[in-house]
C-alpha cells in the first residue's frame, strides 16, 4: 500500500540527478578537500578512489536495490525483507537524524558567504580570522541557519518530482561547470609567502595528486583509510537510509546498474575537482602547514583566491558560493526527505505536516550546534584519536561510529541471511545486465564485513593502531 501513495522520479535521469544531488554537496566541496589536505593529498586520493570502485559500488548498489525491491523507506525496508532485522532500519534512521542537526549549520555558513559577496565585501572575507569571528558570533549563524533550513523545508514540502527532481536538474550542471572554471584558474596563480618562498598552483596540484609514502606507518594508513571511508559514506549518502528511500521511488524499468555507475562518476568527479580547486589554493597561501586547517579550510582559502582574481573575483566568488549553497541544499533536502518519509510511516501524520514538524525539531537542534562555538563551547577527546566540539561530536557519532556499524550489519544481513542473489535479481529485474555481479557477491560477503569490523573497532577506540 505504501508505494502506491508515493510520488516517484519521472525516469532514470531524474533519479540519477537527484541521487547525485544528494551525493554531490557540501560533503564533496567542503569535507572532501579538507580531509584530502590533512591526509597528505595524493595518498588520500589513491585510497579514496580504491574505496569508491569497491566499497562505494557495493554499498550504493545494496541501498538502491533494497529500496526499489521493497518499495519501502529505510525504516521499513529491512523489516519487510526479514522481520528479525527490523532493528537495522531503526538504527539507519538515526544517521540522517543526527546529520540534520549540523548540516543546516554548515548551510548557514555558506549562506553567510553568499551575502558577503552579494554585498561586495569579498576582500573582508579573505582576511585571516574572518570565518572564526563569524561562527563564534551569538546571533548571525543562527539566523542564517534558520533561513537555510526554511529553504530546505520548502523544497521537501512540495515532494519528489515537483520539488527534489526539478531542483536537482536545474542546479547540478551549473555547479559542475563553475567548479571546473575555478579549478583551472587556481592553477594559473602564484603567491610569495612571508618567508619569501614563491608557491604556485601547479605545485599545489602536485601535492594534491602525487602520493607521498614517506614516513607512512600502519597507524597513519588506517587513519587515512578511516577518513576516506567516512567521506565515502557522507559523499555517496550510503548507510544512512537516503539511497534506500530514493531507491523506493525509482521505476521498475530503470537500469539500476547504469544509474549506480553514473552516480559514482558524477560524485567522484566533483569531489576530485573540488580538491583540485581548494588544495592547491591552500598550499599557495599557507604552505603544507595550512593544509591541516580542517573544516574551515574552504572558507579560509577560497576568498583569498577570489581576491587574487581582481575585479572578476567578486563575480566568480558570488557565483561559487551561490552554487555551493544550492549543492548544500540538495544534500540537506535528501536528508530531510528521508526523515519525513520515515516519520510519516511511524506517526501516521500527513507528509506536509510531518515536514513542518521535523523542520521545527531540526531547527531547535541546530541552534544548539551553533551555540557550540560560543556559549556551549567545549573540547573533548574522541575515541578515534581526534579532538572536537559539539559539531565534531555529532559528525563522529554519525560518520565514524554509526555508518561503519550499519555497513557491517547490512553486509552480514544481505551477504549471509538474504544472500547476494536477492540483490542481483533486483538489479536484473528490468532486463538489464548487472555488471560487476561477481565482485559484488565477493565484496558483500567477505570484504565489506571484515574491513567494516576493523574500522568500527578502530573508530570506537577498542582496537588502536596509532
Q: Convert the pLDDT of each residue in 93-113 to its tens digit.
A: 999 999 999 999 999 999 999
pLDDT at 176 over 70: yes
What average pLDDT does range 324-340 have in this prediction? 83
pLDDT at 289 over 80: no
Dihedrals phi, psi of 72, to nearest 5 degrees: -125, 160
Weakest mean pLDDT among 97-106, 159-168, 380-389: 159-168
What average pLDDT does range 216-231 have in this prediction? 87
Dihedrals phi, psi of 434, to nearest 5 degrees: -90, 95
Q: What pLDDT shows up at residue 17?
A: 63
**C-alpha–C-alpha distance, residues 324 and 298, integer Å:** 11
Architecture of the structural domain at 2-363: Orthogonal Bundle (1.10)
Q: What pLDDT shows up at residue 13?
A: 66
pLDDT band per the 50, 70, 90 thresholds, residue 422: very high
pLDDT at 328 over 70: yes
Tell me if the pTM is above 0.75.
yes
**Cα 60 to chain center, whole Å?**
13
pLDDT tens for residues 304-315? 888 887 888 888
The pLDDT > 90 percentage for the chain reads 50
190: which 3 cell numbers?
Answer: 602564484
What average pLDDT does range 157-184 have in this prediction? 72
Q: 185-188: long-range contacts (C-beta < 8 A, 24 or more apart)?
A: 185/305, 185/309, 185/316, 186/276, 186/277, 186/280, 186/281, 186/284, 186/305, 187/276, 187/280
Answer for the pair 323, 159: CB distance below 8 angstroms, yes or no: no
pLDDT at 18 over 80: no
Residues 6 or more apart from 195 whose CB is under 8 A from it? Answer: none
Q: What pLDDT shows up at residue 1?
A: 36
pLDDT band per the 50, 70, 90 thresholds, residue 167: low
Q: What pLDDT shows up at residue 14?
A: 65
Weakest mean pLDDT among 44-58, 112-126, 159-173, 254-268: 159-173
3-state secondary structure of 220: helix
pLDDT band per the 50, 70, 90 thresholds, residue 51: very high
Amino acid at each position: 500500500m505504501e508505494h502506491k501513495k508515493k510520488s516517484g522520479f519521472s525516469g532514470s535521469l531524474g533519479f540519477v540527478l537527484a541521487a547525485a544531488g544528494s551525493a554531490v554537496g557540501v560533503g564533496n566541496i567542503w569535507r572532501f578537500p579538507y580531509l584530502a589536505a590533512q591526509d597528505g593529498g595524493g595518498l588520500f586520493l589513491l585510497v579514496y578512489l580504491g574505496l569508491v570502485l569497491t566499497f562505494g559500488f557495493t554499498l550504493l548498489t545494496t541501498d538502491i536495490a533494497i529500496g526499489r525491491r521493497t518499495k519501502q523507506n529505510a525504516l521499513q525496508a529491512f523489516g519487510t525483507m526479514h522481520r528479525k532485522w527490523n532493528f537495522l532500519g531503526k538504527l539507519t534512521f538515526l544517521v540522517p537524524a543526527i546529520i540534520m542537526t549540523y548540516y543546516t549549520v554548515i548551510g548557514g555558513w555558506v549562506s553567510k558567504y553568499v551575502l558577503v559577496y552579494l554585498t561586495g565585501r569579498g576582500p573582508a572575507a579573505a582576511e585571516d580570522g574572518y570565518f572564526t569571528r563569524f561562527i563564534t558570533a551569538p546571533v548571525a549563524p543562527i539566523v542564517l541557519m534558520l533561513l537555510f533550513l526554511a529553504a530546505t523545508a520548502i523544497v521537501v514540502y512540495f515532494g519528489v518530482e515537483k520539488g527534489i527532481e526539478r531542483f536537482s536538474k536545474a542546479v547540478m550542471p551549473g555547479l559542475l561547470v563553475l567548479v571546473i572554471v575555478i579549478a583551472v584558474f587556481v592553477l594559473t596563480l602564484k603567491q610569495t609567502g612571508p618567508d619569501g618562498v614563491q608557491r604556485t598552483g601547479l605545485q599545489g596540484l602536485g601535492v594534491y595528486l602525487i602520493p607521498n609514502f614517506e614516513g607512512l606507518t600502519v597507524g597513519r594508513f588506517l587513519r587515512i583509510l578511516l577518513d576516506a571511508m567516512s567521506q565515502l559514506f557522507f559523499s555517496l549518502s550510503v548507510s544512512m537510509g537516503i539511497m534506500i528511500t530514493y531507491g523506493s521511488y525509482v521505476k521498475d524499468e530503470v537500469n539500476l546498474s547504469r544509474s549506480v555507475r553514473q552516480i559514482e562518476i558524477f560524485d567522484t568527479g566533483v569531489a576530485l575537482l573540488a580538491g583540485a580547486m581548494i588544495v592547491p589554493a591552500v598550499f599557495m597561501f599557507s604552505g603544507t602547514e595550512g593544509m591541516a586547517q580542517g573544516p574551515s579550510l574552504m572558507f579560509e582559502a577560497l576568498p583569498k583566491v577570489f581576491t587574487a582574481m581582481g575585479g572578476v573575483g567578486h563575480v566568480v566568488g558570488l557565483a561559487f558560493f551561490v552554487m555551493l549553497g544550492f549543492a548544500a541544499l540538495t544534500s540537506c533536502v535528501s536528508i530531510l526527505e528521508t526523515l519525513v518519509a520515515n516519520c510519516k510511516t511511524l506517526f501516521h501524520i500527513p507528509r506536509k505536516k510531518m515536514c513542518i514538524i521535523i523542520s521545527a525539531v531540526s531547527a531547535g537542534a541546530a541552534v544548539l550546534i551553533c551555540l557550540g562555538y560560543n556559549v556551549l563551547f567545549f573540547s573533548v577527546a574522541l575515541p578515534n584519536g581526534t579532538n572536537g566540539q559539539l559539531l565534531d561530536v555529532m559528525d563522529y557519532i554519525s560518520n565514524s561510529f554509526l555508518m561503519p556499524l550499519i555497513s557491517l550489519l547490512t553486509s552480514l544481513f544481505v551477504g549471509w541471511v538474504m544472500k547476494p542473489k536477492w540483490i542481483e535479481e533486483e538489479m536484473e529485474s528490468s532486463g538489464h545486465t548487472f555488471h560487476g555481479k561477481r565482485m559484488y557477491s565477493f565484496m558483500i560477503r567477505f570484504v565489506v564485513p571484515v574491513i567494516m569490523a576493523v574500522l568500527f573497532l578502530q573508530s570506537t577506540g577498542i582496537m588502536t593502531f596509532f
